[in-house]
Amino acid sequence: MSRFRRFGWRSKTPTKEEPSTKGEIDTFEDTPKFSPEASTTTPSISPPTMEDRVPAGVSMGRLIASSEEVTIDREKTEDFAKRAKISPQTAAEIVPGKVLKRDEEGRVHIKIVFYGPSLSGKTTALRWLFANVRSLAKGKLVEISDELGRTTFFDFVPVSASERMVFDVFTVAGQRRHAGSRIKVLRDCDGLIFMADSTPEQMNENLASIQELRIALGTDRMAMLPIIVSLNKRDLPNALPVDYMVQMLDLEGYPVFATIATEGKNLLRMFQRVLRDALIFKVGI
């Protein structure tokens, strides 16, 4: 029961004791927010439209009305997950400290995965953390990229928190054609950062990516796994409002960070949060 209480904050209907999603969001002063004065429609007559939420003159690109307009091949995705040996959690896995991955030196390995659509900023974020988190001892950053610099399989860096603990941090290829290899990286994941692109033009890809993740992990792992949400590229003038993105992606209840990977904005806080939650989830400390 203590395990479920620990992750009880993830419920979509907050209680008095549990913080709402808004309490988990780290935003910037320049994050677009809805202003009733900006609406050309009387609020009492009809609800604000997406155009009402965005500053005048900002191009929103093409927005879709609902996640139902984005389809992921469920059967194919489930087959990829089966090949990757991603199965429902066992009773032992639910108990912190019961199932741990150790190397030949006896160190515990915790696996963290950056997941999200192509060009959302996953590799940029990992590179920034590798260069700037000086308090942690880091191994070699391994990158496998195509001719355009996009990740074709994964980026990986081992981060040593102590002599007894190592975080293995991965980013995955976001392109849809790499679904098989991307889902394979999810195997034995202990903590996950879902990095979404804040631009309107990429909302379809965000929705496709989160749908794929839900199918690949399954209901129980999606509910129990520590998942942190990064809404990246918040510096862009046409960045979608945070509350709109959280609602569209159905991510209410998860910790949300508004980030700028190119500047390192909020990356350290986000990384510290996923490491802490992964340790609680896997080790129980």
Residues 6+ apart with CB under 8 A from 64: 70, 203, 204, 207
* CA dist., res. 243 & res. 31, Å (int): 10
**What was the pLDDT predicted at 142?**
59
Residue 102 DSSP SS3 = strand
What pTM does this model have? 0.74
Per residue in 220-253, pLDDT (tens digit) is 999 999 999 999 999 999 999 999 999 999 999 9
Is-contact 242 74, C-beta < 8 A?
no
Is-contact 180 168, C-beta < 8 A?
no
In a domain, 275, yes or no: yes
Q: Which two tokens stand for residue 284?
A: 């129980």
Residues written for the chain: 285
* CA dist., res. 97 & res. 268, Å (int): 26
In a domain, 35, yes or no: no
Q: CA torsion 33→39→42→43, rounded to 10°?
A: -10
In a domain, 229, yes or no: yes
Which band of pLDDT confidence, cut at 50, 70 and 90, is reported for residue 106? confident
**What was the pLDDT predicted at 3?**
45
Residue-range definition of the domain harbouring residue 147: 2-8+69-282
In a domain, 197, yes or no: yes
Per residue in 171-209, pLDDT (tens digit) is 887 566 668 888 988 999 999 999 999 999 999 999 999
**What was the pLDDT predicted at 136?**
64
Please state the rounded mean pLDDT for residues 10-35. 43
pLDDT averaged over every residue in the chain = 76
Q: What is the CATH number of the domain that holds 155?
A: 3.40.50.300
In a domain, 40, yes or no: no
Which band of pLDDT confidence, cut at 50, 70 and 90, is reported for residue 25? low
Query: Which of the pair, 101 or 29, is modelled with greater confidence?
Result: 101
- Cα of 57 vs its chain's centroid, Å: 30
What percent of the chain has a predicted confidence (pLDDT) above 70? Answer: 65
Alpha helix (H) ranges present in the chain? Answer: 2-6, 50-53, 74-83, 91-94, 122-132, 179-185, 203-224, 242-248, 267-282
Is-contact 266 193, C-beta < 8 A?
no
Is-contact 195 262, C-beta < 8 A?
no
In a domain, 164, yes or no: yes
Q: Which two tokens stand for residue 242?
A: 């945070």
Looking up tokens 């990064």 gives: 230
Per residue in 139-168, pLDDT (tens digit) is 655 555 444 444 434 456 677 767 788 888
Q: Total structural domains in the chain? A: 1
In a domain, 49, yes or no: no
Is-contact 72 215, C-beta < 8 A?
yes
In terms of Cα–Cα distance, which of 228, 284, 236, 280 is closest to 256? 228
In a domain, 130, yes or no: yes
Looking up tokens 């990286």 gives: 185
Amino acid at 13: T
